[in-house]
Structure 1
Amino acid sequence: MTARLDPLHSDDAEARNSAILEIASQPTPQVLDALQQLLSDPDASMFARQAAAETFGQIGPPDGTAILYRMVDSDDPTLRELAAIGLGRAPSAETVHRLIAALSDKVNTVRNVAERSLLAMEDELAAHGVEPLLKLLEHPVPLSRSPAARLLGITRDARALQPLLNHLQNDRQWLARMWAAKGLGDLGKIEAAGPLTHAMQHDEKNRVRAASAEALGKLRPENVEQLLRTALETDEDGGVRKIAGEALYSLGFESPEYHPDDPFDE
């Protein structure tokens, strides 16, 4: 294996990142072969294999991404996970579509890594990801619907408003309702304030009520202080009251449920 890859085995993240950038600047055929061997080596450390995947992403098309695109469809879940990591460094329309497809992977770590990579490419996601995310929002598995809702929120695309509202109000799985609430907060459409208020006050799941309070703090309807104070005073769950208090504090209101550490308190 070429000596240029030696820093990829370092336990120093900064050293690995510097090596990724250096190797990607001059990806000779020998280096590409050595990277692929490292990436597929089950005996190598996971962070070295991850660094190899990130190097392919940094190299980009056609040589780097072609390998990652093949891997993301592999039968080996570790290779799919590594491919999703590497693609986080290769934002493009095709990468967005491949990573959204990975959000329905049967392995949780693959889904999580794909979601993190998509969160790192907001512009490309907004430009190329809304339609496939809307389709994914109807996936039968809540663990795929949930990241779709989260990612739709950061696109700030108006097409996501009604689908997210439908899931907030009608989805039978609380996890999907929670992420629909969070997505609506990020989407930034004031039309969601009424349904979010209803969810904050009436949803049976505390995590959904808390997410709705957080979202209302982001949307800032005219009566936001009253709404959040009502949650503080009436919700039986301490976690919901805490989130409502944090939202009040972030908006500049006094909050008895939120006490940030003050270094000058003494």
Structure 2
Amino acid sequence: MYDEDDLNLLEDPEVELESPLDHLGSLTAESEVPKPDPNVMLALLEAPQPQQRMLAARAFCELEDERATPHLIRLLTDTCPLVRVSAAYGIGRNPSAEAVEPLITHLNRDWNGYVRKGIVWALGNCRDRRSLAPLAEALRTDISAVRLWAASALAQMSEVGYEAVLGAIPPLIEALVRDPVAAVRSNCAWSIGQLCRELPSNVVYATAIDALIQAFAEDEDLGVREDAKSALLGVGDPRALQLIETLEQEGWL
């Protein structure tokens, strides 16, 4: 599975795939450095200077404090994109049911790919049934950086419920087969493997296993094939395990 550290492997003409936040590092990188004071950071969320609002929102990427949620939701409409993306990551660290609808609204409206990427991550962490449709749509239609995270965010439907798992698998299979970016396909394979662990042996499960087997046997990218294999091994499907063993014995791998 690929994550933010692997985004430099991708190319997309619409937007640079790495968020400006990806290289800022932790606010408390050293264990002996105390975390920011949440009361101070809460006050700075209302600061008139965008830089202060951004730093305060970033602080809540590390701090868990439900008092910040209403402020972070409001900052999703901030005029500064760096504040908005920081707010999205902060909500992802402090997920809340009340944040789901605002996140969905701004996923559909925000022009900035960095912000949409953060929103997708936050929606996954909210683990809410309402996130399924917008995450699936992002996986189908957004830029590659957002699709990358939408694919992995859909794996969180495993903690939402059976119906959510059933709804997440079809768009993941479609992207596993059709997405032009190998890293996105790899994340789809990983997510399908996570979701299959929650399914009984039914038609949806069999279709998902077939898609993983196809990716393992036919994808042009070695990394995708390896991730599909890992997903199959993680699920432990007997038919898939037998196929992997046979191919290995024949020297195909």
Task: Measure how far apart 1:132 and its partner are.
Answer: 2.0
CA distance in 1, matches of 2:82, 2:213: 42
| Amino acid aligned to 1:164 | L
For 1:184-199, list aligned pairs within 5 A. 184-188=192-196, 189=199, 190-191=205-206, 192-199=208-215
Task: Measure how far apart 1:214 and its partner are.
Answer: 1.6
Task: Measure how far apart 1:149 and its partner are.
Answer: 2.0
User: Is 2:47 the counterpart of 1:37?
Assistant: yes
Task: Measure how far apart 1:204 and its partner are.
Answer: 0.8
Q: How many residues align?
A: 209
| Amino acid aligned to 1:150 | S
Q: Is the 8 A contact 2:72 2:90 kept in 1?
A: yes
CA distance in 1, matches of 2:60, 2:195: 35
Deviations 1:63-85 (A, max 9, x none): x4343223222331210122113
Task: Measure how far apart 1:222 and its partner are.
Answer: 0.7
For 1:133-172, list aligned pairs within 5 A. 133-156=135-158, 157-172=165-180
Task: Measure how far apart 1:138 and its partner are.
Answer: 2.1
CA distance in 2, matches of 1:52, 1:218: 33
User: Is 2:62 the counterpart of 1:58?
Assistant: no
Q: Is the 8 A contact 1:54 1:85 kept in 2?
A: no
Higher relative contact order (CA 8 A, sep 6+): 2
Find the partner of 2:97 among 93, 96, 104.
Answer: 93
Task: Measure how far apart 1:135 and its partner are.
Answer: 2.4
1:16 match: secondary structure? coil
Q: Give the TM-score taking structure 2 as reference length.
A: 0.66
CA distance in 2, matches of 1:155, 1:66: 24
Change (3 A) 1:53 1:36: farther
| Amino acid aligned to 1:36 | E
User: Is 2:230 the counterpart of 1:214?
Assistant: yes
CA distance in 1, matches of 2:168, 2:60: 36
Matched with 1:173 is 181
Find the partner of 2:35 among 8, 13, 16.
Answer: 16
Q: Give the TM-score taking structure 1 as reference length.
A: 0.63
Matched with 2:80 is 76
Deviations 1:174-202 (A, max 9, x none): 33322221221111143211121111011
Once the two structures are overlaid, the 10-residue window that deviates more, 203-212 or 96-105, is: 96-105
Matched with 2:218 is 202
Task: Measure how far apart 1:92 and its partner are.
Answer: 2.4
CA distance in 2, matches of 1:77, 1:133: 21
| Amino acid aligned to 1:71 | L
Task: Measure how far apart 1:203 and its partner are.
Answer: 0.7
Gaps of 5+ in 1: 1-8, 25-30, 236-266
Task: Measure how far apart 1:11 and its partner are.
Answer: 7.1
For 1:233-244, list aligned pairs within 5 A. 233-235=251-253
Once the two structures are overlaid, the 10-residue window that deviates more, 136-145 or 95-104, is: 95-104
Deviations 1:87-116 (A, max 9, x none): 134422342344456667665554554454
Change (3 A) 1:181 1:93: same
Task: Measure how far apart 1:137 and its partner are.
Answer: 2.5
Max radius of gyration: which structure? 1
Change (3 A) 1:97 1:151: farther
Identity of aligned residues (%): 27
User: Is 2:130 the counterpart of 1:128?
Assistant: yes
Matched with 1:258 is none
